[in-house]
Amino acid sequence: MTEVVTQSEATGTEQPPLFPMKRPCPFKMPEEYARLRAEEPVSKVTLRVSGKQVWIITKADDVRKVLTDSTLSSNWKEPGYPLPVAVPDDILQAMELPLVAMDPPQHTVRRRMLIPEFTAKRMQALRPKIEKIVHEHIDAMLAKGGPVDLVEELAVPVPSLVFCELLGVPASETAFFRNYAELTTNREVTPMEIGMAQQEMEAYLDKLVTDRGVNPKDDLLTRLVARNNEEGNLAHSDVVALARVLLFGGFDTIANVVSLGTVALLQNPDQLQKLKDDPTLTANAVGELLRFASISDHATARVLPHDITVSGVTIPAGDGIIALNGSANRDEERWENPDMLDVCRDTKGHASFGHGIHQCPGASLVKVELEIIFNALFSRIPGLRLHGEVPDSAYKHDALIFGMYELPVTW
């Protein structure tokens, strides 16, 4: 592989620090974040994957300012966009952009299609089905007996099966989704195998969308298809793409926060005891676990169509910026004792779902699902504990979305 030579190396000037920066431990943000918030809240870094120099935003107020500015672009194809992975430009320019990489008006049309599916009323209607899935998996854990891998037994299969409920996938075909979830989270699987699995899932979703057009049911896909038939804004492939966004976005968030949140609570028994004593705190605790874990702390990026000024620093048009959600979630000016887990904390305004027009459209489902899982897990298995020390290798330090590969627990 050809070594990347940065402009600073070629000119002899000092190179900005490499990014992303590794967490010193699973529940701490990179140590450099705190220094930057205090001394240089808007600064340059060098992307490890490409050698490109981009800007990072570290303070909570600045992160919100950037993410709520709808004039900034999320388009991956713009030259200055800080892509976190290496993609050949010819492939990048030819690819169909996902919702997260679209700008208005294309983004507006698609998001408007999704929002009615995640109202409080729809989430309440879905709650009994989610509870049934969660309790069935806890039943299986108890029948098997500890130790078990919580990632394999609960964190991965539950969100995949909830997604099946959302889309109205026949019970006979849910194994396909579970197999997909297990394969794409297995560290032993090659990129080629993951790519093939994603192609198979794409074909399946395409078939499902087609079927809902001729065999309507009471599910999300049927309503998306019907809504699109009335408004006529999207092609068939666009509706398939929306289903794909929901699958990838919701699954990763829930699976990783379940495993990380369980470790965080078990390592903070005083906070866990508060939930056991008062289960009504769990909804609030979910917000705190999302803040505390910050699984995608550098996933929110933009490229500038015009100059902007942030904390007195003018960033020129064409440059890329990364609004660090994880840093915003640990900003001392925003949160009291930000490095402590506090399930009673008011976490309104945390950055884990983003802000503005690209805020996660399925956030309400994520919160309901996590609330149900944590309530059921610790009420059904009050003696749950870690099975030995969790090795550093169990954490996804090498992944774009932080989480866990495995979590041995017993009771």
The one catalytic residue among 74, 282, 296, 300: 296
Phi, psi of 394 (to 5 degrees): -75, -15
- What structural domains and CATH numbers belong to the chain? 7-410 (1.10.630.10)
Active-site residue, 68 included: no
The one catalytic residue among 6, 43, 311, 360: 360
Of 207, 242, 247, 244, residue with least CA distance to 224: 242
The one catalytic residue among 46, 253, 259, 294: 253
Ranges under pLDDT 50 in the chain: 1-12
CA distance readout (Å), 196 to 47, 84, 200:
28, 21, 6
Taking a C-beta distance cutoff of 8 angstroms, is the pair 286, 371 a contact?
yes
Contacts of 382 (CB under 8 A, 6+ apart): 276
Give how far the C-alpha of residue 90 lies from the chain's centroid of Cα atoms, to the nearest Å.
27
pLDDT digits (tens, 9 = 90+) for 179-202: 877 777 666 777 788 778 888 888
Contacts of 267 (CB under 8 A, 6+ apart): 27
Q: Which helix (H) or strand (E) holds 256?
A: helix 236-266
pLDDT the model gives residue 18: 95
Phi, psi of 46 (to 5 degrees): -110, 120
pLDDT the model gives residue 193: 81
Alpha-carbon dihedral 334, 338, 344, 345, rounded to 10 degrees: 10
pLDDT the model gives residue 185: 67
pLDDT the model gives residue 408: 97
pLDDT digits (tens, 9 = 90+) for 52-84: 999 999 999 999 999 999 999 999 999 999 998
The CA distance from 173 to 204, in Å, is: 10
pLDDT the model gives residue 9: 38
Active-site residue, 344 included: no
The one catalytic residue among 139, 307, 339, 398: 398
Of 167, 302, 192, residue with least CA distance to 247: 167
Taking a C-beta distance cutoff of 8 angstroms, is the pair 15, 9 a contact?
yes
Between CA 130 and CA 265, with CA 297 as vertex, the angle to 5 degrees is 50
Of 63, 406, 76, 113, residue with least CA distance to 260: 406
Phi, psi of 321 (to 5 degrees): -135, 150
pLDDT the model gives residue 381: 97
